[in-house]
Amino acid sequence: MAPRDPRPFDVEYIENPTQAELRKLAFEHTPCVQRTIVGTVNKVTRNKARMAQYTYIIDTQDRWSHQIIDPDKAKALIERQERYIADKGKLIAIDGYVGLDDGAFGATWLYTLEGANIAGMQQVLAFSRFEVETKESLSKPFEPTFRLFYTPDLMLDDMPGRQAIIVDMDNWTTYVMGADYFGESKKGILRMLNHYVYQKGGLVLHAGAKAVSRGDGHKVTMTIMGLSGTGKTTTTFSKQGDLTEPIQDDMVALWPHGALTITEAGCFAKTDGLSLETEPVLFQATTGPDAWVENVFLEPDGSFHFTKGVLSIEEVKRVRDILVATGANEKNLDRYVAGEIDVDEVVNSHGVPADGWDFVVWTQNGRSIVPMTAIPDAADLHDIPQVKSMGILNRDEGYDAAMPGIVRFTSPEQAAGYFMLGETSKTSAAGKERGKTRSPFTQPFFPAKHGLQAKRFAELAATMPDVTMWLMNTGYIGGEANDAKENKAINIKIRHSSAMLEALLSDSIKWKRDPDFGYEIVDVDAPENTALLEEVPAEILEPRRFYESRGRDADYQEWVKHMKESRREFLRKFQVSEAIVEATTA
């Protein structure tokens, strides 16, 4: 591979500034930033989530799971970015690596000054050259495998959303224009890494990972897949007795025979609902001096409010300038401040605002970036144990939420099917999208055709026959939040998840076959499971009992019928092998 020029623009470069220097640059040049009570940066963004609909891969053929853009149109947009950069005259340059040791791949990120906060966040996640390279290689020019050029305030009035994320897979370069959300920087490199690792025989998983100490003194690795909002980061950093040490919270690369390589030196965690009582590790790291935060509501003194929902008139007045600058409808904002609109008129019973009134409800997609060094009891990232446990999280929710609290798969084919389904409840950053969704391997960042993931996973699974594969429901049984408040549904809480996972890790569960789907569920009548049942209700472990006790047998049977049919249709859409389809839906 030809070397990638890490400095392709004729401008002044601010070379690998320190974290303190990046904070200073962010306060000076990044719009809509606030100083927290501990002196860290909180950026309020226009985009409240990663924008897949504005992401394009340069190509003329439909070979990708992403949309494509004609090379000539892409070239014209890239030239506009080049002119914008030349006009600005300065770039912040961050050099580093995604991964360590054999899984280390060099990357260069370049940002115009308004993206100083993004540069600071990205630097936390990247491994430095000093952590990866030898003294000899440090003395030579850096030659990155991947490059990303980011201009947050270059607005493209002739493009949808006034923005574009353009991916050049031939040259392993991503161009981000008009987006100001940090996730576009993070995923920009990881999207390319997905394709790169696949070409080398591995598979990148959208998964957290933790090291588990077994009773025999040996350590093994557990991976936890999950879409945003399912509790992947929470599960990764939660303790199961003294058994576990966090490794990664978001992406890992799986190789033959259960070998695993990591990608990042920190974590990108959701902050909605974060508390010292339920998630002490992430709470303390997020409110510490080394974190960067994004879209977190701050009180007037800069203190963190992680459960903010509807804003009062006074709160809207206080942050009015930021709300307007990040896209709030100014006419509606002024009507709200004037007291002309009642909250119930524009926010429904689920807390979802009507179009044009998003500013009334603070986004649920607050985020923090924290270094792994701020995580107590983190694993040794240079010594990752072999993978022996692989799971997926499904935050089931709604009237037909009937996934058991935890299941164990009986074959690699069955696991591949459920991993390919990637089921959960759909939530957007603004909280507007509801209902069920599926995303192959919970992996919206895999750029090639998604069916290739199931094929590669089956190949890898054949090399690691002793790996336990499982699914855990982190949502509800029989309803959603409002139903749970009225005792019409059961909320699966963090303590329930921790108890189920601890029982799984200690290999103390007595399992039985589920008669409808063929996977194994907890045998709630077995005396071996008495201790687990003291921590987790039987209706969570075997949801059929919940439906029967509420006279909803017909609802449960309809759910079984619908899930089999829809799962079969989804898997066949991606040309998944019939062996996997049958193992999943028989």
pLDDT digits (tens, 9 = 90+) for 505-564: 888 999 999 999 999 999 999 999 999 999 999 999 999 999 999 999 999 999 999 999
Angle, helix 116-125 to helix 183-199, in steps of 10 degrees: 40
pTM beyond cutoff 0.75: yes
Give the count of domains, the chain: 3
Residue with tokens 């923005």: 163
User: Which element (helix H / strand E) includes 313?
Assistant: helix 313-318
Asked if residue 273 belongs to a domain, the reply is no
Residue where a domain stops, chosen among 308, 334, 367: 367
Give the pair of three-digit tokens for residue 193. 């890494």
Both 315 and 176 in one domain: the answer is no
CA 48, distance to chain mean position in Å, is 14
Give the pair of three-digit tokens for residue 135. 């003294």
Summarised one tens digit per residue, pLDDT across range 563-583 is 999 999 999 999 999 999 999
CATH number of the structural domain spanning residue 450: 3.90.228.20
Give the pair of three-digit tokens for residue 352. 């979802």
Residue 1 — pLDDT band, cuts 50, 70, 90? Answer: low
- Hey, which residues does 282 pair with through a beta bridge? none
Asked if residue 375 belongs to a domain, the reply is no
SS3 165: strand
Model confidence at 427: pLDDT above 60 = no
CA 154, distance to chain mean position in Å, is 26
Instruction: Count how many Cα atoms sit within 13 Å of the Cα of residue 15 in the half-sphere of its side chain.
Output: 3
Both 184 and 214 in one domain: the answer is no
User: Given CA atoms 268, 271, 275, 276 in this order, what sign does their dihedral have?
Assistant: positive
Asked if residue 233 belongs to a domain, the reply is yes
Q: Please, are residues 94 and 109 in contact by the beta-carbon 8 Å criterion?
A: yes
Summarised one tens digit per residue, pLDDT across range 280-296 is 999 999 999 999 999 99
- Residue 518 Rama label (left phi>0; alpha psi -120 to 50; beta): left
Asked if residue 6 belongs to a domain, the reply is no
Both 233 and 140 in one domain: the answer is no
- Between the alpha carbon of residue 89 and those of residues 13, 24, 153, the distances in Å are 9, 19, 14
Please report the pLDDT score of residue 161 as a whole number.
Answer: 96
Both 190 and 166 in one domain: the answer is yes
Residue with tokens 């983190």: 378
Both 215 and 194 in one domain: the answer is no
Please report the pLDDT score of residue 4 as a whole number.
Answer: 78
Please report the pLDDT score of residue 212 as a whole number.
Answer: 87
User: Given CA atoms 216, 219, 225, 231 in this order, what sign does their dihedral have?
Assistant: positive
Q: Please, are residues 425 and 436 in contact by the beta-carbon 8 Å criterion?
A: yes
Which residues in 55-163 belong to E strands, given as ranges?
A: 55-58, 67-69, 90-98, 105-111, 146-151
Model confidence at 430: pLDDT above 50 = no
Summarised one tens digit per residue, pLDDT across range 114-151 is 999 999 999 999 999 999 999 999 999 999 999 999 99
User: What DSSP assignment string belongs to 431-469?
Assistant: S---SEEE-GGG-TT--B-THHHHHHHHHHHTT-TT-EE
Asked if residue 445 belongs to a domain, the reply is yes
Q: Please, are residues 403 and 473 in contact by the beta-carbon 8 Å criterion?
A: yes
Summarised one tens digit per residue, pLDDT across range 208-246 is 999 988 777 788 999 999 998 898 988 888 876 667 899
- The boundaries of the domain holding residue 363 are 286-367
Phi, psi of 9 (to 5 degrees): -110, 145
Asked if residue 1 belongs to a domain, the reply is no
Q: Which amino acid is at 456?
A: R
Q: What is the mean pLDDT of residues 345-354?
A: 91
Cα–Cα distance measured from residue 114 to residue 185, given in angstroms and rounded to the nearest whole number: 14
Residue where a domain stops, chosen among 367, 395, 410: 367
Both 179 and 238 in one domain: the answer is no
CATH number of the structural domain spanning residue 189: 3.40.449.10
Asked if residue 270 belongs to a domain, the reply is no
Asked if residue 299 belongs to a domain, the reply is yes
Both 493 and 348 in one domain: the answer is no
Both 489 and 450 in one domain: the answer is yes
Give the pair of three-digit tokens for residue 44. 């309020």
Q: What number of other Cβ atoms are within 10 A of residue 205's Cβ?
A: 29
User: What DSSP assignment string belongs to 530-555?
Assistant: HHHHHHS-HHHHSHHHHHHHTT-HHH
Model confidence at 428: pLDDT above 50 = no
Cα–Cα distance measured from residue 403 to residue 436, given in angstroms and rounded to the nearest whole number: 12
SS3 428: coil
Both 118 and 155 in one domain: the answer is yes
Both 218 and 292 in one domain: the answer is no
Summarised one tens digit per residue, pLDDT across range 191-205 is 999 999 999 999 999
Both 48 and 128 in one domain: the answer is yes
Residue where a domain stops, chosen among 166, 199, 232: 199
Both 294 and 257 in one domain: the answer is no
- Hey, which residues does 262 pair with through a beta bridge? 252
